[in-house]
């Protein structure tokens, strides 16, 4: 019998597991994919929003500001990349200047610190590559950029190290409310739990419907992106927004913590919650909108296009409340933007809700919530020499674009949540993140995975289920 079972191991589920791992509880995470961070967590803008956008008085506003305030210290504790660079919302006409004033007033009501309204001259002094017709901007200095899948992985790994159980490939197929506990059926077996938390992202309504009529309607929205080479990473120094609309915060341009430039997203309603296709029309829309803000953006420097699906629902606010049909089921759903920014505070609020419905908490006498990683590229020459002396595998560079060593890849493979794919290594160690996107290092990473995991190379995946790279062998026995 588990005390708490969490459905979904994106950044919301992982944040909750991380904070629950501090307590003397038996906690289980059920994840339908073969790795953590496989949904919206790995396909978003990677922005920690300041909190001026959500309507004052909403749960979204409170948790955005609270989560943003926690994020820097959390990332430092977990050794996750984070940079506070600030954001700018641009205005191109008098009407949009009025929108900036509204956003500023709203941000002040939300207790966002440091907001400033800038003239066109002031904002162009900060960002000389902005369009000439930018006439004003709202500066939010507390906005930041972060590694979203790195945060999710770190929290999940520390949770597992502190006793949380993680079951991958365990999509939920049914839920039985048995009064004093819940029986959760999955493709990997059935599990008894006293409390169940629905953190299943875009599929949250499906979990809700397993215990009674669905409590909200899913209206998912897909956003497409360009990721540009590091040669474009310094084109802007802040997160650059346009004035928000009814469908979202619009197309942005932002440096990433890895040194690239991210451009996007658009907003397109989709029926399939897993439809992460990229389209010519969608990318053309992103291109045209981005050039309105920064005409000099060179989308020929794109090294990857991708899309993510937002967990938009018929409710405008986050859905964090007990089920109307099963009192021991807590929904943590509809976590669209600024969900990443709010994630630490969402976890706190969810724990408060669990206590309200009966969960008792007792802190463990000892708990280590920290994590450290060796990132060879960032070490001094003396530190590199010392690391190589301890483990010669750190002296062999596998990914030339990102200077990722065999030692880092092997450490990722033997981490608390071992990857089963080449992209799993990419998210953990960074191999394949660079200009060639794994074109050079991918085959070598595959070999290392097969060697370290004692698997046939034919069984190594590119990413999710069904993404085998090698489909047969030549007559001589070599992989083909």
Helix 339-356 × helix 59-78 angle, to 10°: 100
- Give per-residue pLDDT as tens, 190-218: 999 999 999 999 999 999 999 999 899 99
Mean pLDDT of the region 288-301 = 98
- Catalytic residue ranges: 49
Bond preceding residue 338 cis, omega within 30 of 0: yes
Give 241-268 as a DSSP string. EEPPBTTBS--EEEE-TTS-EEEE---E
pLDDT at 171 over 60: yes
Reported confidence tier of residue 480, pLDDT bands at 50, 70, 90 = very low
Confidence of residue 479 (pLDDT cuts 50, 70, 90): very low
Per-residue pLDDT reduced to its tens digit, 120-137: 999 999 999 999 999 999
Q: Is 412 exposed, middle or buried (0-12, 13-18, 19+ CB in 10 A)?
A: buried
Give the pLDDT mean for 242-263.
Answer: 88
Whether pLDDT at 278 is above 80: yes
pLDDT tens digits for range 218-228: 999 999 999 99
Place of tokens 């079972």: 5
Segment 62-73 shows an average pLDDT of: 98
DSSP category for residue 148: H
pLDDT digits (tens, 9 = 90+) for 299-332: 999 999 999 999 999 999 999 999 999 999 999 9
**pTM, two decimal places:** 0.96
């Amino acid at each position: 019998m588990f005390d708490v079972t969490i459905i979904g191991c994106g950044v919301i589920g992982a944040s909750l597991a991380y904070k629950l791992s501090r307590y003397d509880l038996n906690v289980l995470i059920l994840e339908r994919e073969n790795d953590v961070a496989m949904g919206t967590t790995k396909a978003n803008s990677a922005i920690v929003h300041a909190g001026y956008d959500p309507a004052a008085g909403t749960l979204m506003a409170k948790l955005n500001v609270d989560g943003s305030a926690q994020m820097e210290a959390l990332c430092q504790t977990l050794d996750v990349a984070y940079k506070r660079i600030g954001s700018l919302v641009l205005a191109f006409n008098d009407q949009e200047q009025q929108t900036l004033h509204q956003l500023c007033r709203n941000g002040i009501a939300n207790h966002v610190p440091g907001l400033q309204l800038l003239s066109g001259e002031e904002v162009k002094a900060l960002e000389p590559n902005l369009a000439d017709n930018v006439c004003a901007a709202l500066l939010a200095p507390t906005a930041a950029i972060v590694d979203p899948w790195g945060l999710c992985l770190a929290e999940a790994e520390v949770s597992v190290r502190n006793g949380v159980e993680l079951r991958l490939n365990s999509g939920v197929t049914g839920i039985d409310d048995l009064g004093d506990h819940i029986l959760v059926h999955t493709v990997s077996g059935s599990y008894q739990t006293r409390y169940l938390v629905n953190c299943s992202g875009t599929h949250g309504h499906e979990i809700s419907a397993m215990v009674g009529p669905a409590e909200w309607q899913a209206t998912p929205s897909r956003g497409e992106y360009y990721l540009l080479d590091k040669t474009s990473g310094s084109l802007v120094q802040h997160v650059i927004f346009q004035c928000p609309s009814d469908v979202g915060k619009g197309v942005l341009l932002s440096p990433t913590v890895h040194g690239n430039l991210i451009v996007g997203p658009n907003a397109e309603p989709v029926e399939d919650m897993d439809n992460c296709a990229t389209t010519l029309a969608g990318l053309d829309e992103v291109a045209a909108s981005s050039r309105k803000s920064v005409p000099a953006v060179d989308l020929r420097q794109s090294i990857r296009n991708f899309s993510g699906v937002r967990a938009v629902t018929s409710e405008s606010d986050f859905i964090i409340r007990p089920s109307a049909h099963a009192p021991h089921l807590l929904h943590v759903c509809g976590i669209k933007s600024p969900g990443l920014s709010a994630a630490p505070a969402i976890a706190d609020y969810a724990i408060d809700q669990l206590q309200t419905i009966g969960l008792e908490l007792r802190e463990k006498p000892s708990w280590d919530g920290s994590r450290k990683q060796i990132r060879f590229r960032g070490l001094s020459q003396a530190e590199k020499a010392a690391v190589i002396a301890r483990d010669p595998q750190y002296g062999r560079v596998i990914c030339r674009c990102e200077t990722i060593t065999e030692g880092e890849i092997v450490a990722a493979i033997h981490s608390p949540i071992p990857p089963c794919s080449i992209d799993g290594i990419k998210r953990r160690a960074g191999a394949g993140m660079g200009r060639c996107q794994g074109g050079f290092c991918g085959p070598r990473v595959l070999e290392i995975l097969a060697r370290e995991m004692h698997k046939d190379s034919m069984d190594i995946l590119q990413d999710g289920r069904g993404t085998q790279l090698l489909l047969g062998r030549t007559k001589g026995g070599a992989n083909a």
